[in-house]
Amino acid sequence: MKFSQLLIPTTKETPNDASLASHIYLIRAGFIQSYGSGLYNFLPLGKIVLDRVRAVVKDELDKAGAMEVSLGFVTPSSFWQQSGRIEKYGKELLRFKDRKNADFVLSPTNEESMVNLVKNSVKSYKNLPLNLYQINLKFRDEIRPRFGLMRGREFLMKDGYSFHANEEDMIREFNLMEKTYSKIFTRLGLDFRVVEADSGAIGGSGSKEFMVLADSGEDTIVVCSECEYGANIEAGIRKPREIEKNNFKFEKVETPNITTIDEVSQFLDVKPSQTIKAVIKKAIYDDSSEVVIFFLRGDDTLEETKACNSVDANELVDISEDEIREAGLSVGYVGCFDLPKDIKFVIDLEIKDEINMVMGANEDNYHIKGADITTIKNASYADLIAVQEGDICPCCNSKLKYTKGIEAGHIFQLGTQYSDALDAKFLDNNGKAQPFVMGTYGIGVSRLLAGIIEQNHDDKGCIWTKESAPFSVNIIISNIKKEEEVLEATKLYNELKAKGIDVLLDDRKDRFGAKIKDFELIGIPTAVVIGKKLADRLVEVVDRKTLEKTEVKIENLLDEVLKRV
């Protein structure tokens, strides 16, 4: 392609709402254009990159035996009502009515639609397993769209769904998709980590996220310094801690105006790890709400996604002191014993069998010493804590640390959650109707563009990886008025095209400095500068990543460029 014939509106101005490098450079380099909050047009360069990334995703999925389909962008609300997600997904699910007053949604994901497709097409175990995917537009009505393609409202997503006769075969496909996704991210030149994750609104019994490592990432990841263990903070686990404790007899002690963990620890001369704190929240469900108490060690932090999952709520919200008192609880003195009978509570697994603990006595100005958690009847237990840096890895006993990541892929073991809800069944080898066992697999294709640039940029602009670059080579004519430069550039351009190389010829009448700045901003991996030294039969080859310049004799130029690309 010739630069003069392409729409590439590069600009020096940084968008007012842009803070991430990918947001800034994708707009400044003319890849995307904002036309509304969280909404973007893909300009010619952006569409080329999007198609290249899409092609890598499709190639690896097809090699793995998955089959591409295309589902409708608009989905009947009844599908989501059947699955039970219409309310749980919340306001991010855009709902609307057509002229006949029928209810529809713009799908952010398509489990329901794909189940209906297979339900109406597959009747026998002989047609299983089946892995169908699409790469299609999705819409999520983000409350605060930000960071460009990283968190837009409309996005290109690959969503795939596998159907199986049994769980064993579903896990086999899940593992195959983990390997396939790893190949995709590796081909795209990304530094990534596969981590344990929370299944969120999709559901299922297990899931893994593919995190593109970047300081700008929104997600906190817990990783081991020595082994391959990694998890989103929402799903991270640690080796249970060994706590040194004082020995106490069981007694209720007066603690006047002592309400915080630090105050209790100092007053009773115990470590915070020997205390139990109560975190009180209001759990919100589809049609109701209730006060819930979460009990954990005094020096631990509640991980709210884990807590929310432990009571199967849609969300947890903070609660006022007045609401706590209305629930019959004593502010600052809540403990596991003698709670009001109608109060739901969950205890962290790590303190399930603890003795000699200190906690509130459920009475103003009193705490209990020597509490034995094993004596609590009908208690619910769950992993509630947020793993901290320095905690011990559950796999190898090394220390855990935090890093930041961008979620670019997510795979789930769904089981029969959706097939049960939507009554999707097949006949097994005994002629008995069974629900499909499912997996689901997503990749944020348009988000990958942002992820690539978050990992690959400098203060001059984008640095595209080999498989994602809009062009492999950028030929820059230093002075378009010099016929010998134009002839040599055109010759190389035609030779590279004949070899199947994607090449951009900068044939504009602009100044040489402007062309170099655009090359650096756009980020094509290799530039060939044909300029003043042509008289000496020399040209410059520039590596975009390092900005190293190499002088090459004109007779060796084609071989040198082919070697690089």
Q: What's the whole-number average pLDDT of the chain?
A: 94
Supply the pLDDT for residue 91. 84
Mean pLDDT throughout 165-190? 97
d(CA 320, CA 453) in angstroms, rounded, equals: 43
Supply the pLDDT for residue 88. 76
Q: Is the pLDDT of residue 429 over 70?
A: yes
Q: Is the pLDDT of residue 203 over 80?
A: no
Q: Is the pLDDT of residue 352 over 70?
A: yes
The residue whose two tokens read 């329901």 is 112
Q: Is the pLDDT of residue 297 over 70?
A: yes
d(CA 433, CA 427) in angstroms, rounded, equals: 5
Supply the pLDDT for residue 144. 84
Supply the pLDDT for residue 205. 66
Rg, C-alpha atoms of the chain: 29
341: left (phi over 0), alpha (psi -120 to 50) or beta: alpha
Mean pLDDT throughout 333-338? 94
Mean pLDDT throughout 446-452? 96
Higher pLDDT: 196 or 526? It is: 526
CATH of region 251-382 = 3.90.960.10
Q: Is the pLDDT of residue 336 over 90?
A: yes
Burial code (b: 16+ CB inside 10 Å, e: under 16) for 265-292 equals beebebebbbbbbbbbbbbbeeeeeebb
Supply the pLDDT for residue 119. 96
Supply the pLDDT for residue 10. 96
Q: Is the pLDDT of residue 287 over 60?
A: yes
Higher pLDDT: 196 or 361? It is: 361
Q: What is the per-residue pLDDT across 380-408, written as a single tens digit (0 to 9) for each?
A: 999 999 999 999 999 998 999 999 999 99
Supply the pLDDT for residue 199. 60
Q: Is the pLDDT of residue 201 over 60?
A: no
Region of poorest pLDDT, from 189-203, 217-231, 327-341: 189-203
pTM of the model: 0.86
Supply the pLDDT for residue 206. 78
Domain ranges within the chain, ordered by starting residue: 3-237+401-454, 251-382, 473-564
d(CA 216, CA 404) in angstroms, rounded, equals: 7
pLDDT tier at 86, thresholds 50, 70, 90: confident
Q: Is the pLDDT of residue 44 over 60?
A: yes
Four-way CATH pick for 3-237+401-454: 3.30.930.10, 3.30.420.40, 3.90.79.10, 3.30.70.580? 3.30.930.10
Mean pLDDT throughout 270-276? 96
Backbone angles phi, psi at 285, to 5 degrees: -115, -175
d(CA 352, CA 379) in angstroms, rounded, equals: 9
Backbone angles phi, psi at 88, to 5 degrees: -60, -30
pLDDT tier at 233, thresholds 50, 70, 90: very high
Supply the pLDDT for residue 85. 87
In the CATH hierarchy, which fold is given to the domain comprising 473-564?
Rossmann fold (3.40.50)
Supply the pLDDT for residue 200. 60
Mean pLDDT throughout 231-253? 92
Q: What is the per-residue pLDDT across 94-124, written as a single tens digit (0 to 9) for each?
A: 999 999 999 999 989 999 999 999 999 999 9
d(CA 149, CA 155) in angstroms, rounded, equals: 8
Supply the pLDDT for residue 202. 53
% of the chain surpassing 90 pLDDT = 88
- Cβ–Cβ under 8 Å, residues 553 and 536: no
**DSSP single-letter state for residue 12:** S
d(CA 459, CA 477) in angstroms, rounded, equals: 24
pLDDT tier at 157, thresholds 50, 70, 90: very high
% of the chain surpassing 70 pLDDT = 99
Region of poorest pLDDT, from 15-19, 108-112, 421-425: 15-19
Decide: helix, strand or coil at residue 26.
Answer: helix
Mean pLDDT throughout 180-206? 84
pLDDT tier at 360, thresholds 50, 70, 90: very high
Supply the pLDDT for residue 301. 97
Supply the pLDDT for residue 197. 85
Residue type at position 430: N
Q: What is the per-residue pLDDT across 138-147, written as a single tens digit (0 to 9) for each?
A: 999 988 888 8
What does each C-alpha distance from 212 to 70, 408, 459 come to in angstroms? Answer: 27, 7, 20
What does each C-alpha distance from 184 to 46, 60, 347, 443 come to in angstroms? Answer: 19, 7, 41, 10
Q: Is the pLDDT of residue 507 over 80?
A: yes
